[in-house]
């Protein structure tokens, strides 16, 4: 592991543990309600896109998650226990978890609460609906949103080479997939300010279409008439 990333990740976990945000590993088992993670969002934005380890070093059957791959070579979506890689062709391909990743987070998804999302809600404001349903802006909330979306836009980015450019420059050259009206499932995490730097700030979603022919990182969308939001409040996080 890159020394700077190791130090950063250890410091973040130590600070969060001391603050009571992440229970110490010796105090809590690796239960179903905890997020498992490789890397941190802050380590990704150093920038350092080198893989830190294979996905299946922490993925032990968790059913919902997201991430990326070594050198940012595609978007990762974990839906219903099935993992997909979406490259710049926009087509989801099933993978087995042996691939290396600089950032991956997943949970065994068992929703605490679900509810309809008002039609016309945009993906940009969906975080407010998540916070209202969770009744908190803190902590890590696993999120699943599924139904019909209009003006759905997803994206992926090409593989990067060293010296790595900042993430903002990489995203500026993203490949967009305007999908129009689609049935889809969007999954990810809402990271509260008390976990700043560990996950992407706010609501971070990846998704695949219902027919599994398209997917990627969610850029924008408008909620249709049948969209349901389900959330799970994570009890903690294990970072490798």
- Bridge partners for 164 per DSSP: none
- Do 70 and 129 share a domain, yes or no? no
* 85's tokens: 């890689």
Query: Which pLDDT score, from 0 to 100, does residue 6 have?
Result: 39
- Do 192 and 220 share a domain, yes or no? yes
What CATH number corresponds to the domain at position 100? 3.30.1330.80
pTM score, whole prediction: 0.88
Domain containing 24: what range? 3-107
Phi, psi of 32 (to 5 degrees): -65, -20
Query: Which pLDDT score, from 0 to 100, does residue 31 have?
Result: 73
In a domain, residue 184? The reply is yes
Quickly list DSSP for 63-110.
-EEEEE-GGG-SEEEEETTEEEEE-TT--EEE--S-SEES-EEEE---
Say how far apart CA 228 and CA 213 lie, in whole Å: 21
Show the beta-strand stretches assigned E in the chain: 34-38, 53-54, 64-68, 75-79, 82-86, 92-94, 100-101, 104-107, 113-116, 140-156, 175-191, 202-209, 215-223, 228-233, 236-239
Walk along the chain (240 residues) and give the pLDDT tens digit of each residue. Answer: 343 333 344 434 433 433 334 433 333 344 789 999 999 999 999 999 999 999 999 999 999 999 999 999 999 999 999 999 999 999 999 999 999 999 999 999 999 999 999 999 999 999 999 999 999 999 999 999 999 999 999 999 999 999 999 999 999 999 999 999 999 999 999 999 999 999 999 999 999 999 999 999 999 999 999 999 999 999 999 998
- Do 100 and 117 share a domain, yes or no? no
Number of structural domains the chain divides into: 2
Q: Show which of 81, 107, 133 is a domain's final residue.
A: 107
- Do 82 and 183 share a domain, yes or no? no
Query: Which pLDDT score, from 0 to 100, does residue 32 have?
Result: 81
Bond from prior residue into 120 cis (ω within 30 degrees of 0): no
Q: Show which of 79, 107, 135 is a domain's final residue.
A: 107
Q: Show which of 85, 107, 129 is a domain's final residue.
A: 107
Say how far apart CA 214 and CA 208 lie, in whole Å: 6
What's the maximum distance between 2 C-alpha atoms anywhere in the chain? 49
Say how far apart CA 12 and CA 25 lie, in whole Å: 14
- Do 155 and 207 share a domain, yes or no? yes
Query: Which pLDDT score, from 0 to 100, does residue 15 have?
Result: 37
Phi, psi of 197 (to 5 degrees): 90, -20
- Do 118 and 228 share a domain, yes or no? yes
State whether the Cα torsion 11-14-19-20 is positive or negative. positive
Q: Is 80 left (phi over 0), alpha (psi -120 to 50) or beta?
A: left
How crowded is residue 210: how many other Cβ atoms within 10 Å of its Cβ? Answer: 13
């Amino acid at each position: 592991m890159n020394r700077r990333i190791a130090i950063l990740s250890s410091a973040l976990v130590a600070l969060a543990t001391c603050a009571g945000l992440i229970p110490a590993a010796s105090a809590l088992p690796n239960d179903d309600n905890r997020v498992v993670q490789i890397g941190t969002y802050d380590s990704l934005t150093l920038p350092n896109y080198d893989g830190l380890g294979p996905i299946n070093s922490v993925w032990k059957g968790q059913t919902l998650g997201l991430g990326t791959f070594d050198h940012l070579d595609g978007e990762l979506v974990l839906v219903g226990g099935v993992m997909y890689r979406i490259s710049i062709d926009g087509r989801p391909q099933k993978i087995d978890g042996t691939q290396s990743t600089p950032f991956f987070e997943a949970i065994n998804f068992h929703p605490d609460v679900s509810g309809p999302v008002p039609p016309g809600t945009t993906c940009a404001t969906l975080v407010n609906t998540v916070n209202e349903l969770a009744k908190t802006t803190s902590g890590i909330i696993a999120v699943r949103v599924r139904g019909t979306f209009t003006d759905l836009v997803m994206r992926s980015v090409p593989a990067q080479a060293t010296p790595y450019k900042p993430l903002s420059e990489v995203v500026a050259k993203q490949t967009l997939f305007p999908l129009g009206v689609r049935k889809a499932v969007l999954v990810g995490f809402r990271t509260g300010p008390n976990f700043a730097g560990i996950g992407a700030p706010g609501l971070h979603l990846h998704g695949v279409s219902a027919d599994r022919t398209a997917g990627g990182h969610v850029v924008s969308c408008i909620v249709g008439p049948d969209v349901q939001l389900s959330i799970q409040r994570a009890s903690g996080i294990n970072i490798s």
